[in-house]
Amino acid sequence: MTTERSTGPRPLRGADKAKPRRKQVLLRLHPHLYDALARWAGDELRSTNAQIEFLLRTALTEAGRHPTAPRVVPREIADRHGDTEPTMLRRRTG
């Protein structure tokens, strides 16, 4: 009696349903830029990929474009309304 083996990866149990899969993106970088990112990642004990993702997430949040982060109203706008500190706003969903 022979047993058939699967040639593909085993499906994840439950985890695949809980989290959306990460997108894979081919990113072309100048070698000097990559080296600088890799050094910075090493200084912060991150992989280069995690460092790039961290920087992108930070930039999106600061620009008020991260889909899950609160948006900060710039100081100039807050000052016009008499607020002393920038205000956190939640994006509307749905």
Torsion of CA 78, 79, 82, 87, to 10 degrees: 20
Per-residue model confidence (pLDDT) at position 20:
78
pLDDT tens, 28-62? 999 999 999 999 999 999 999 999 999 999 999 88
Nearest Cα residue to 48 out of 64, 65, 66, 31: 31
For 53, phi then psi, to 5°, come to -65, -40
The rounded distance, in Å, linking the Cα atoms of 22 and 54 is 14
Q: Residue 66: its pLDDT value, please?
A: 83
Which pLDDT tens digit goes with each residue over 71-83?
A: 565 666 556 556 5
One-letter amino acid identity for 39?
Answer: R
Q: How many residues does the chain have?
A: 94
Q: Which residue has the higher pLDDT, 84 or 66?
A: 66
